[in-house]
Amino acid sequence: MTRRVTLRRTLIACGALALAVLAAIVLMSLLGSEQLPARASLCALLSAGANPCGLGRDQYDILFQLRLPRILLAAAVGASLATAGASYQALLRNPLAEPYLLGVSNGAAVGTMIALVFFGANEWTRPVLAFAGALLATLAVYQLARGRAGATPERLVLAGVIVTTFLSSAIVFITTLMDATRIRSFTFWLLGDLSGASSTLLPVVIAIAVLGTVALTLNARSLNLLMLGERDAFDLGVEVGRVRIVVFIVASLLVGTSVAASGSVGYVGLVVPHLIRLSLGSDNRLSIPASALGGGLFVIVADTVARTVIAPRELPVGAITALIGAPLFIYLLKRV
Amino acid sequence: MLEALDLTIRYDERVAVANVSLKLTSGKIVAVIGPNGAGKSTLLRALNGQLRRSSGAVLLDGVPIEKFSRRTIGRRIAVVAQEAELRFPVTVLEFVLGGRYAWANNAGWGWETGRDLRVAEEVLDETELAELSGRLMNELSGGERQRAVLARALATEASFLLLDEPTANLDLSHQATLLALVRNRCDQQHSAALVVTHDINLAAQFADHILLLKQGRVIEAGPPREVLTPELLREVFAVTVLVDAHPVTGAPRVTPVHGGTS
């Protein structure tokens, strides 16, 4: 028996998850190919970098210039993707809806690549075009998936495959326009790579993650009804068209900025909301903000594994998330 | 009062509902019967403001329904339809509380108030689901589930109930229980109900007024006794029937005569 979700329960669950995220940010910044002294690093982190606490110059830079931005980016990207996934799932009434599997991430990737190839000098064009790409891909999948009987889970997944493969060929095409030296880093980026934590984009990704989660949480009660059926929601008083537009735009913004910053980290939007619903129930007033925090936690940990497991070499974080996500997808597919 | 005036609805070229007028007044149950494809469900959806009219009007208390926001309509008109397959686990209480959505101060966000919970408790008692309120919807039997759908509609406190085949998946005893609940609401809270059904005898027993539809047109409208005649039923359903009085209630009772297809 699951208990009804109340404000108190939401605050407790989200508070606990937020503490876990903070703990992960601190602990994971100590791990890596370069071992940092735990006590001194903790002291420096707690002083927010004001006091080096006896860390060497190189160690200080590794902590504050490399690891911390990367971990914060991981948290923001994870939060964005998980929140987008949770709201796509509720809106489309489909536990398999996920930005990566729907082709939305690929849409954002194409947008980012166009920005890189044609407006390379201007970093700001990347999230903007990524957002446009994500939104176009979302609308394309939605239109393709809508049959006479509405969008069945299978139809939606197939539409996602079609859009994904189409956009993949667009990506290959754009790749050929690049010079060979950049292709390797691109391949990494496409699989989801947090190593390029850019100082200009990082605040944008964090701000969008927070604002987007708030915006979607503010529609959570409508999403609760949409999750049960579009017609039911309409009958009960939900302005279905308006909520759909809000979710499509906000989720595309979340996916767009995170892909612009870190490529397509797959399956986060599938794994995290599923685990959250399993443990906390389906009420979106709790599961959307909890997915955001859980997503941050998940990608921080996954990226730490990615950069430590074969250190000093690194894996793209997307390889780790897919390793966990793909089997879960198969399990879910068997259940719907 | 909720009424349709000379309502016509077309899907592309096909006319689904043609020049239908009807009134839902407080305390009364209107049943809509007719063969498959007669436009019964289309009529119900139009009364809720969901379908675009080709001509005519749907008036809620004399005002065209499209002038109201969805939330206002959600507080005035409740629909009981065949519920969609649930793909996420939801408890019965959560499901029923969905009926309180339109009453929230801020529709998208917010928490159920004490009043919302009280109303939910009342309708759960009314539909005899109180014991099951913590169970998941997909653990319920078909009959319990349909009762939960009705409970959610009752939780809206709407004065107009539109029911689309509410008894389709129910066994004999649950069919009568469900309509008795609707009857009760109409008698005690002065609600009005429209029931789309294939079950003519159930309509005869519970409805004050019957609308007989064929190919979108009203063939006859009136009290059960006047509408449920062998001649009219043969015209609409192309089947020979025997109509006599129900031995207990005295309502018309319709029995198809075997081999009597005309």
Q: What is the C-alpha R_g of chain A? A: 20
Tokens describing residue B207: 């409805």
Quick: pLDDT tens for A300-313.
999 999 988 887 78
Quick: pLDDT tens for A52-93.
888 888 888 888 888 999 999 999 999 999 999 999 999 988
Is the pLDDT at A117 greater than 50? The verdict is yes
Quick: pLDDT tens for B61-74.
999 999 999 999 99
Among A228, A237, A285, beta carbon nearest to B86:
A228
Mean pLDDT of chain A: 88
From CA A79, how far away is CA B236, in angstroms rounded? 59
- ipTM for the whole complex: 0.90
pLDDT at residue A198, rounded to an integer? 67
Residues of B in contact with A229 (CB under 8 A): 83-84
Chunked into runs of 10 residues, chain B (262 residues) has average pLDDT values of: 92 88 94 92 92 90 93 94 81 94 80 93 93 92 90 95 89 85 92 93 92 93 92 90 89 82 50
Closest CA in chain A for residue B46: A235
Among B79, B91, B135, beta carbon nearest to A235:
B79
Higher pLDDT, A328 or B103: B103
Is the pLDDT at A204 greater than 60? The verdict is yes
pLDDT at residue A183, rounded to an integer? 78
From CA B167, how far away is CA B146, in angstroms rounded? 8
Report residue A2's pLDDT band, with 50, 70 and 90 as the boundaries.
low
Cα distances from A90 to residues A213, A251, B119, B190, B261, in angstroms, run 14, 12, 26, 36, 48
CB atoms within 10 A of CB A40: 18
Report residue A176's pLDDT band, with 50, 70 and 90 as the boundaries.
confident
Is the pLDDT at A156 greater than 70? The verdict is yes
Of chain A, the percentage scoring pLDDT greater than 70 comes to 96
Q: Tell me if A192 sits within 8 A of A265, measured CB to CB.
A: yes
* pLDDT, average across residues A262-290: 92
Question: Is the backbone of residue A133 left (phi > 0), alpha (psi -120 to 50) or beta?
Answer: alpha
Answer whether A2 touches B (CB < 8 Å): yes
Q: Which of A191-195, A196-200, B250-254 has the highest mean pLDDT?
A: B250-254
Is the pLDDT at A180 greater than 80? The verdict is no
Residues of A in contact with B98 (CB under 8 A): 224-225, 228, 232, 236
Lowest mean pLDDT among A186-190, A227-231, A243-247, A258-262: A186-190
Closest CA in chain A for residue B68: A237
The helix/strand/coil state of B219 is strand
Kindly determine whether residue B84 and residue A218, on different chains, have CB atoms separated by under 8 Å.
Answer: no
Report residue A109's pLDDT band, with 50, 70 and 90 as the boundaries.
very high
pLDDT at residue B176, rounded to an integer? 84
pLDDT at residue A311, rounded to an integer? 76
pLDDT at residue A336, rounded to an integer? 59
Which residues are bridge partners to A20 per DSSP? none
Give the relative orientation of helices A268-280 and A68-91 as an angle to the nearest 10 degrees: 70
Kindly determine whether residue A282 and residue B90, on different chains, have CB atoms separated by under 8 Å.
Answer: yes
Kindly determine whether residue A285 and residue B109, on different chains, have CB atoms separated by under 8 Å.
Answer: yes
Quote the distance between the C-alpha of residue B37 and its chain's center.
Answer: 17
pLDDT at residue A254, rounded to an integer? 96
From CA B12, how far away is CA A146, in angstroms rounded? 19
Give the relative orientation of helices A125-145 and A240-262 as an angle to the nearest 10 degrees: 130
End-to-end CA distance of chain A: 21
CB atoms within 10 A of CB B189: 12
Higher pLDDT, A119 or B121: B121
Higher pLDDT, A176 or B44: B44
Task: Give the strand pairing for B14-24 and B2-11.
Answer: antiparallel
pLDDT at residue A1, rounded to an integer? 41
Residues of A in contact with B109 (CB under 8 A): 217-221, 285
